[in-house]
Amino acid sequence: MSTGAAIAVAVTFVWLGMVLGISFLEAPLKFRAPNVTLQIGLGIGRLVFRALNTVEVGFAVVLLAAVPTVCAGERTPLGIVVAFAVVFAALAIQLIAVRPRLTRRSDEVLAGADVPRSRGHYVYIGLEAAKVVALSTAGILLLTG
C-alpha cells in the first residue's frame, strides 16, 4: 500500500470514528446527564460541532490531496470518487445550509426565546448518516482496491 493510500485509509476511518462518537453517542447523551440544562447542552454542542466540522474540513483537504495518489498513474476507481463526493457534499450542505440555521435557532434559545423544535436537527442527522455510509464505503474500497 502506498503512503497516499495509507493516509487516505487512516483519515477516512478516523473521520468515521469521530462522526460516530460525537454525532451518535456524545450529542444525544449529553442531554441525559444530571443538571445539564438545554442552554448548557446547546452551548456544549455548539463548541463540539464547531470543532468537529473544523477537523472534518481538514480531513477533506487531506483526502483531496491523498486520494489521487492512491492509484499512482491510474484513474481512481469510480466507487471511491462517488463515496468521497457524497461525504464532501454532505459536509458542505451541513456547513453552508444547516449549521447556520441551527446556530440562529440556538442563539434564540440561549437568549431565552421560546421557539418550536427544529427540523434542522433531523436534516443534520440525516447528513451525518450519509457521511457514515459513504465514509465506510470509501474506507472499505480503499482497503480492498
Read off the pLDDT of residues 54-64 as tens digits, 9 standing for 90 and up. 999 999 999 99
Q: What does the domain layout of the chain look like in residue ranges? A: 3-144
Q: Tell me, what's the pLDDT at 19?
A: 97
| CA gyration radius, the chain | 17
Q: What is the mean predicted confidence (pLDDT) over 21-42? A: 90
Residues 6+ apart with CB under 8 A from 7: 62, 66
**pTM listed for this prediction:** 0.91
What is the Cα–Cα distance from 25 to 2, expressed in whole angstroms?
33
Nearest-CA neighbor of 57 among 81, 100, 90? Answer: 90
Q: Tell me, what's the pLDDT at 38?
A: 84
Q: Which three cell numbers stand for residue 116?
A: 418550536
What is the Cα–Cα distance from 43 to 131, expressed in whole angstroms?
24
What is the Cα–Cα distance from 18 to 27, expressed in whole angstroms?
12
Lowest-confidence segment of 61-70, 87-96, 135-144 by average pLDDT: 61-70
Q: Which three cell numbers stand for residue 135?
A: 465514509
Q: Which three cell numbers stand for residue 128?
A: 451525518
